Structure 1
């Protein structure tokens, strides 16, 4: 049996990682020093890594996270932002998802709420969790459409299956009584089952008045606040700071 036959079979099986490692073994004479078992293990490991990377790539695309490059390692911890590095470190191990806890990130516009939420989302995807990102105004519009088309139950099922749901821009637009109720149902369906990250320009103390529905506000706050990790950002808008730097 020749090498071409083996390569053709690997192509047929779509064992791309295995094939790349096999070609490396052919070209690199150092591999001849390894035992048969070591060379086979190297090939299998290469295929496993290839499948893991492919799965991460697909799940990142399906997550709808806008900033695929957002990284916890690149968070700016300058003193004016007053970010508690220990909180980020604690969240980075993803135990908050395993324990079905939530995260609330608040701060003025441009302070980096969305970036941190997406950095956490990217890390969660890499660690094998199902993640989905959506702005709250977009979610509320989706719910309205689903109710009108009779697909609301399917929409609830869709959002309940994500182990981490990132709800960005809570409180940036007015919310009706129906909107508040719809948001509650999404959150209720995930409570103690999956985790949610909420970013908001509004401090948590203002959420009750913003929701403008005492019953729903009580229910949402009860389900989110008591099992949440809090990140409160301060300082000047990061977008303004970057703009100033670019002008220098």
Structure 2
């Protein structure tokens, strides 16, 4: 998913684009105004992206192709750019592995056909502790509570951002106990589902904490 912001200081993105089904991207070329552009080809049409110059455009194109195809494209890049591309590739591979592991674990815990239909809470995001903190800081209007994988890939965690004058981040571990989940607080709290984990924090703060759900952007032509 590509997220677009009106400027670097904007707290919430204005548009987003699903590129999971990307088929190809054209070569980067100058547009005659000092900038550069290239086109992403998707099943439902083409999207033209603009960058400040050709070098920036090439790097963006490589990042996009690397994440969607899970391989580094054969493009001429500087050593520093290649290092960043490989770092992004490993990060994306690990993110997908983590997400798949949690999806499989959730299915294995199910004991009846109806329970297979249970979905993860909308505020679940397969992100690290640092990434969760960044999402909450940059998108305050989207919510203040994220459910995410735990650091050991066997548990879950809740990251919340309290904003009472001075923003304060806290992280809570959530352990799977058979068919229930245990929130590791000073006094352990056990609830029957992950959705109940989210509901517990919302209820205990009288609605001050809200599940983090990314907003849907408009369908205008995006520009990098």
Q: TM-score, normalised by structure 2?
A: 0.28
Q: Flag the structure with larger Rg.
A: 1
Greater RCO, CA 8 A, separation 6+: 1
Greater helix fraction, Structure 1 or Structure 2:
1
Q: TM-score, normalised by structure 1?
A: 0.26
